[in-house]
A and B are shown apart, each in its own frame.
Chain A
Amino acid sequence: MTRPQRPKRSLRLRLLAGTLAWIITTLAIAGWGLSGLFQQHVTEQLYARLATQLEQLTANLTVDPQGNAVLSGELSDPRLHRPYSGLYWQIDSVSADGRADKRTLLRSRSLWDTLLSVPEDAPADGVLHQHRVDGPQGEALLMLERLVYPAEAPEQGLRLIVAADAQLVSEPVERFNGLLAIALVILGLGLITAAVMQVVIGLRPLGQLRRSLQAVHEGKAQRIEQDYPQEIQPLVDDFNSVLNHNARIVDQARTRAGNLAHALKTPLSILANAASRPDDKLPGLVREQVAMARRQIDHHLAHARAAAAARVPGMRSEVRPLLESLLHVMQRLHQDKSINATLDKDSIAPIFRGEKQDLQEMLGNLLENAWKWSRGRVHITLERSGEQFTIIIDDDGPGLPAEQRQTVLARGVRADEQVPGSGLGLAIVSDLAELYEGALSLHASPLGGLRARLTLPAAGSQ
């Protein structure tokens, strides 16, 4: 008993690992994307509000006759009046080339005694610039600025600045991220549960199949019953047909073994009886019964071999080289009998659709038979007819009477008891030919003896 090999990877684990990796990756990307989008949205919203404040500031800005910038009215947002509230404005003067000259003209009350430091840049007239700067208490500020050249004093440029605490953006984003994480984790758990269930339910037929096979293995069942999904059913059908084939072979083997055992019991009991009553006839009796036993063994062995002939699809055997090698063997084995064996030169070179050894067995037996009876000539012809080919073997021996030609092919019937093994060979050829859906028939030969016609399936030439 060989130890069952450890499976390399569980199908279930593979499916689960793949799905898990995919779910986690997708959710992470989705979370990152959503959070980014939300942050962008909140930031834009804040800038939009700052832009409104800037508009208001611009609208309220006037220049008095002395050339000083003054606000015609206070801005409405109360936060601009509360110190360090997080919302600020400031107006700086700008030199003619647009650079800040570091002079702050006006600022919101919320700035109290601090100033907003502005990056040195020169936005074109009417263009809004966004910046991220440090605020009066070191906090991050989002800032919006523009340059204005009042109509009253166009040479005196003014830089209008509004700014808001960046926390106005980061706080909602953090809240959103927290909620998003919870939502994604719940979604992930849901998906993973679904994947696990899918894998478990999807692979359940395989587990069932394994249990069925186990049952067959333990002998509790003959075949795999039940219906399986269409992906597995062909496998199950194939397996069942293998099981059936095995069962049939075992059955045949058992029958043959039984037949052989029974057939051998008779000669054995005759021998045992004779041995217990020793007399002069013993050697003759032993010889006769051994011959009988041998005939039985030959018969059953030959038929067992024919029945077990594997019919593997896709087998091809060339006929001509095989015939030539068999003729060589026949000449070698029967050197005392000079037989002029001829193989039709012009005939075709067919390919047998089947196993080489079976073809050898059939042709060998036919040639053996021809050699045994021939007086000096054996002639072989090959013919092709559609999907089949025929091998015709003629000899110039005594031939067989018409009424014996059929019976000699029936199992185990012997045309002539004097020549050992005669008849059996032809019956084996007939059995083998039938297994290949071919046929063996016997006729009178133009050479004067027996003509054997063996028809077998041909393989297409490649």
Chain B
Amino acid sequence: MRLLLVEDDPTLSEQLTEELTLAGYVVETAQNGIDAYHLGEVEPFDAVVLDLGLPQMDGLTVLKRWRAAGHTMPVLILTARDAWHEKVDGIDAGADDYLVKPFHMEELLARVRALIRRASGHASAELKCGPVVLDTRSGRVSVEGRSLSLTSHELRVLAYLMHHRGKVVSRTELTEHIYAQEFDRDSNTIEVFIARLRKKLPAGLIKTARGLGYRLVCPE
């Protein structure tokens, strides 16, 4: 899962990046409104954590412009402004959630998880696909109750497929959501991860759509 973190305070930005990366997200950061706006315009993100008081362009404007341009990724506003009229303004601008600073890291993680889950249309924190269960809170995967050990990249690939189960996911899409930096991206490694996942998971779960990408097929 790929997150955009927009926060102008370098210390807080660093802390958040660290915690979000630990929680299994690929995090990109922006320190000002203009950069944030362009990143959101150009690259696909699964969720955005947006501060409001930003240099160059304030967060509400960034959000309004994204929404006006038709970008629907879930956005969580993280701000010190806690008056109700500010919350109303934030939600009206198109935010999906509003968290007031100071905050507990656990709460932020829970809310980001819920945002991503709801955006892909899942009601529960546990995603199921046949015998495979992914707990989005802990990042644990089990098959028929047995815990499965996965590397972080394997987990990211599986989590993305689980969130978009039944749909065809292209290799480019997978690389974009799994690697933070452009130079890391090598679509060949995706094939390696898929091959390893196929070995660890029950057979027939990950289908290849020739020339298009992969699809997670869940037996009823």
Partner-B contacts on A (CB < 8 A): 290, 294, 298, 301, 305, 325-326, 328-329, 332-333, 335-336, 356-357, 360-361, 363-365
Contact = CB atoms under 8 A, between A and B. Distances in A.
B118 interface: yes
A336 B114 CA distance: 8
A332 B85 contact: no
B84 A326 contact: yes
| Most chain A CB inside 10 Å of its own CB: which residue of B85, B88, B95 | B85
B22 interface: no
A360 B98 contact: no
A298 B97 CA distance: 20
Contacts, number: 40
Contact of B85 (A294, A328, A336, A360): A360
B219 interface: no
A85 to B, nearest CB: 105
Given A325-B92, A328-B91, A333 B98 contact: yes
A364 B114 contact: no
Contacts of A365: 84
Interface in B96-115: 96-98, 102, 114
B69 interface: no
A406 to B, nearest CB: 25
A326 B97 contact: no
B168 to A, nearest CB: 28
B88 A360 contact: yes
B98 A326 contact: no
Assign chain B's interface to a size class.
10 to 19
B87 interface: yes
Given A335-B114, A363-B84, 8 more contacts: A301-B82, A325-B88, A326-B88, A332-B91, A333-B87, A333-B91, A333-B98, A365-B84
Contacts of B84: 326, 357, 360-361, 363-365
Interface in B33-81: none
A332 B75 CA distance: 12
B96 A332 contact: yes
A305 B88 CA distance: 17
A361 B83 contact: yes
Contacts of B85: 356-357, 360-361
Contacts of B87: 329, 333, 364
Contact of B88 (A294, A329, A335): A329
A336 B125 CA distance: 10
- Of the candidates B84, B91, B95, B118, the one having the most CB atoms from chain A within 10 angstroms of its own CB is B84
20 contacts: A290-B102, A294-B102, A301-B82, A305-B83, A325-B92, A326-B88, A328-B91, A329-B87, A332-B91, A332-B95, A333-B87, A333-B91, A333-B97, A357-B83, A357-B85, A360-B83, A360-B88, A361-B85, A363-B84, A364-B88
Given A357-B83, A360-B85, A335 B118 contact: yes
B196 to A, nearest CB: 34
Nearest to B125: A336
A250 B88 CA distance: 30
A356 B88 CA distance: 12
Most buried by A among B82, B88, B118: B88
Contacts of A294: 102
Instruction: Sort A-B residue pairs by CB-CB distance and give the 5 closest, nearest first.
Output: A364-B84, A360-B84, A329-B91, A357-B85, A360-B85
B86 to A, nearest CB: 9
Contacts of A329: 87-88, 91
Contacts of A356: 85
Nearest to B115: A335
A432 B95 CA distance: 28
Nearest to B110: A336
Contacts of A290: 102
Contacts of B114: 335-336
Nearest to A290: B102
Contacts of B92: 325
Nearest to B95: A332
A335 B123 CA distance: 10
Nearest to B102: A294
